[in-house]
Every structure is written in structure tokens, then in C-alpha cells.
Structure 1
Amino acid sequence: MKKLLLAAVALAGACGFTHANSVTVRNLTGCTFTLDFSSIMMTMAPGETIVTSAPGAADLTVCKVIYNDGLPGRISIGAGIVPGYVSYANSLSSPNNPPCVTNGFYSVAWSQSSPTADAQLMIF
């Protein structure tokens, strides 16, 4: 009985340290963006992909969606669940919006119930 209890405690501890969350990213535009999740940077073409944090690493709670148009500077929009970030933002105020979007600007929306939960990021 003692061994069973110790094994259960060890297993519960291991599960706590190996937690990883994921973000499902849906890019509904015709543009390719750079996604910066603080610990992970990647290129996102139009379509859908799933990004997963490494076990034991920080949870994915925020993302900067970056469009580099080749000019000095770039357009960067941040969204997330942590303080200082919003769940919806757009590039409407930027003078150099991507030519690959039909309405002249792009928007991002972040949906996550808690910092450790899986999230959804939509670019449109």
C-alpha cells in the first residue's frame, strides 16, 4: 500500500511538471506573418497550425503577430490573456498595412479561458 501511494504521488508530481498547452492558429488572410510567442518564433502562412509549448516551459499566453513589409519598421500586433495585452487588436492605425489583405488592415483575436488552458489565435 505504501508503494502504491508513493507511486501515485510521484506520478502526480511528474504530470504537474510536464504540462504543456497549445495554441491553434488560424490565418484567414493571404499574408504570411511572423508569430512571436516569447519562447517560440515561427513563420505562419495562410492556413491553420497548432503550436505547443515544451513540457516544463512557460505556457503560451500571448502572441505578437508581425508583418514585415520590407520597409524600415514593421507592423506588430499583440494579443493574449496576460495583463497588458488585449483579446482583440487590429492594424487600422498603421500607415503601411499589408497589400495582401482585402480591407487594408488585419486583425487578431485571442481566446483562452485561463493561462494554462489551450488557446485559439485567429488572424483575419
Structure 2
Amino acid sequence: MEIPLSNLVGNMLLFMPMAVFLPCLFRPMRKFWLFLLTVTLVFVAVEALQLLLACGSCDVDDVLLNLFGTLSVFGILKIPALQRLLKKLYLLPEEPDAPVVAVPLPEAEQVPTAESDGSQSR
């Protein structure tokens, strides 16, 4: 019973980050039907590669469980109360079409070069 349960939970958890990162990185992925089509194609491709390369096991239930896990997180992230909380924590943009920036990057220091300090080596 332990192996089927770990297989079930593993398949559901494995691709859950896609539900977070795809909509954040690619604006079109915020639309449900495009997201569904994309992740379905990815999961079918993974299973097809397992079949072609004879590594792992190629199962339809893997595709369905991966879809269930990914779509459940996608749906949870669409809950308005959770979206408000994530916006307060600066993990989601205020405007729906704004790019997501979670952590501001520090500015890089400028390294002086021979051309910028006025000296020329001849």
C-alpha cells in the first residue's frame, strides 16, 4: 500500500510548481484553457518520452494525476481572498497584466575602465 500511495502523492506534487510559475512568467498562461492545453501537452510528452526511451513507466494515470495536481493549485491561486493576500505580500502584481516582480534586484556597481578614467595606454 505504501508504494501506490507514494506514487499517487508524487504524481500530484511533481508538477504543481508549473501552476505557479507558468502564469507568473508568461501572461497568456493566466487563461485557463491555454494553461490546460499547455500542461496537458507537457505531461503527454513526458509520458511519450518514457515510452520511447524505455525508462520509467508510461501510464495514463500519471497524466491524469499530474493534471489534477497542477489544476488544483491553479484553481487555488484564483481564489480572490488568496490573491489579495499574495498582493499584500508583493507576490502578485496589483494589476492583472503587470509583470510579476517578487524581489527587487540590487543595482550593479560600475567597474572603472581605462577609457572611462581618462588615461590611455599607448
TM-score normalised to structure 2 length: 0.24
Q: Which structure has the larger Rg over C-alpha atoms? A: 2
Q: TM-score normalized by structure 1?
A: 0.23
